[in-house]
Amino acid sequence: MRDGSGDRLVAKLHEPAEPRRGLVVLVHGLTGCEDSFYIRVSTQYWLSSGYAVLRLNLRGAGPSRPLCRLHYHAGRSADLRDALESLRALAPQLLNRGIFLVGYSLGANLLIRFLAEEASAFPVVAGACVSAPIDLKAAQRRIMDSRNWIYHRYLLARMREEALAAPVPLSEDERNAIYSAASVYDFDDQVVAPANGFTGADDYYARCSGLRFLSKIVCPTLAVHAENDPWIPAESYRHFDWTANPALSLAMPRAGGHVGFHAQGSDFTWHDQEIGRFFALAAAQ
C-alpha cells in the first residue's frame, strides 16, 4: 500500500471462458470478505454475462487480515485505488475493456468516495452502489434502534472479532477499547476513530459519509437501495437531489431489505440484473 504500512490486500480473480466485456470489481461490506454470500452470487452473475471478476478483500478483511496491521473503514477509498494500481501493473490487459465497480453496504460508501476522488485515474466505465449507508450517522442510529437489537449485537460481535484478529499484538489500551465497546457507536468512537485520525465517531461519520461525495462523481453511477432496508434509512436517499448530477441514477424499490433484492424465478438477484443493464448502457455510450 502507498501509505508505507507494509499492508497487502488479497483478491481473487476470475476470467470467463469467453471474455466479451470488461472487469467487474466487487467490494464487500462491513465484516464481509470475498466469500460473503452476496459476493459469490454476484460473481456467478457477472461471469455468466462475459465479464472478468475481481473479488477484493478490503484491508484487514478475510484473507487480507493476516497481512494487514491497519483496517478498512467507510472512507478508506485509497485502498481501492492502490489495488487497481497494482492490478494495472500486474495484468494491464484486464483493464483494456474497462473497469466496472460494484460496492455493497459499507463497501458501497467507500466506493462512492473513490468514484468522486480517484476514478479519473483509471478506465472506469461505470459504478454501482448497493445499500450504501450514505449518511453514516443516520445508519448508526437506525442500527441501534431497539427493533434491531439482535442484528446490532451480532454486528458488534463480528466487528470485535475482526479487530482482535490483528496480525500484530494489540496494546492493553486497544484491547480494553475493543472489549468495552457496548455499541456500534462506541466501537467507532473508541476503536475506529482513534486508529484513523478522527476525533471521534461523529467526526468519522461526518467526514466519510457518501452524501459528501455524490455531487463530485462524473462517471455513470447507479445507486440501488430499498425503501424497507431495516438498517439504512430511505430518508437519506430521499433528501438528496439525484437530478442535480446527471452522472447519477437511483433505483429505489419498495422492497429488497439490505442487499437482499431477490428476483422471483431467477438464479440471480434483481440488483445484479439491474446493474447489468446499467453497465451495458454505460459501455455503449
Which residue ranges form the domains of the chain, and what is each CATH number? 11-135+211-284 (3.40.50.1820), 136-208 (no CATH)
Q: CA torsion angle for 262, 51, 1, 27 (degrees, to 10)?
A: -10
Amino acid at 226: A
**229 catalytic residue (yes or no):** yes
pLDDT of residue 278: 98
Which amino acid does the sequence have at 203? D
pLDDT at 266: 80
- How far, in Å, are 11, 59, 281 from residue 34 at the CA level? 7, 12, 27
- Decide: helix, strand or coil at residue 20: coil
Q: Which of 28, 152, 258, 271 is catalytic?
A: 258
Q: Is 225 a catalytic residue?
A: no
258 is catalytic: yes
Q: What is the pLDDT along the chain (285 residues), one digit of tens a residue?
A: 888 889 999 999 999 988 789 999 999 999 999 999 999 999 999 999 999 999 999 999 999 999 999 999 999 999 999 999 999 999 999 899 999 999 999 999 999 999 999 999 999 999 999 999 999 999 999 999 999 999 999 999 999 999 999 898 999 999 999 999 999 999 999 999 999 999 999 999 999 999 999 999 999 999 999 999 999 999 999 999 999 999 999 999 999 999 988 777 788 999 999 999 999 999 998
User: How is residue 74 written as a grid cell?
Assistant: 467507510
In the set 36, 77, 105, 209, the catalytic residue is 105
